[in-house]
């Protein structure tokens, strides 16, 4: 079952979704919480939040999914927020342990905010080669944390 969910996220990524969209929608779908607007919600998170090279989209997609999941189980907003922070810190720690960073620029080796570097990487298919491992890793961590 887990590999099927991961494969779905990877298929979305190769089907023109960014890392955040792929992780968020696929995980919500797995949990029965998917809604079609989720891909739009995560659209600006690709490339480390709007191509700025900050936190990886696979990680931010995971954080959005965590917010949805913890919000479904805790009705008190303050408690839900605190639990979301706790689980988010755990998720991001595991992501950093696996990939040595959560920063997109560091993970992909491209300054995402530099139009020339970004275009060169796009022309070479760089992201299609390197980013699937981050999508897969984020999904694996989420599936482990929320079976």
- Number of compact structural domains in the chain: 1
| SS3 letters across the chain | CHHHHHHHHHHHHHCCCCHHHHHHHHHHHHCCCCCCCHHHHCHHHCCCCCCCCCECHHHHHHHHHHHHHHHHHCCCHHHHHHHHHHHHHHHHHHHHHHHCCCEHHHHHCCCCCCHHHHHHHHHCCHHHHHCHHHHHHHHHHHHHHCC
User: For the segment 33-65, what is each residue's pLDDT rounded down to a tens digit?
Assistant: 999 899 999 999 999 999 999 999 999 999 999
| Domain region containing 90 | 2-145
pTM of this structure: 0.95
């Amino acid at each position: 079952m887990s590999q099927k969910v991961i494969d779905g996220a990877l298929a979305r990524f190769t089907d023109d979704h960014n890392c955040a969209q792929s992780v968020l929608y696929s995980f919500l779908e797995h949990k029965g919480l998917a809604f079609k607007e989720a891909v739009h919600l995560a659209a600006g998170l690709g490339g480390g939040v709007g191509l700025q090279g900050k936190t990886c989209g696979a990680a931010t997609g995971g954080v959005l999914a965590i917010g949805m999941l913890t919000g479904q189980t805790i009705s008190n907003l303050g408690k839900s927020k605190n639990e979301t922070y706790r689980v988010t810190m755990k998720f991001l720690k595991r992501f950093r342990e696996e990939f040595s960073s959560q920063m997109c620029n560091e993970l992909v080796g491209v300054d995402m905010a530099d139009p020339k570097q970004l275009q060169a990487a796009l022309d070479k298919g760089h992201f299609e080669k390197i980013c699937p491992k981050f999508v897969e890793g984020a999904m694996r961590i989420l599936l482990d944390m929320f079976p």
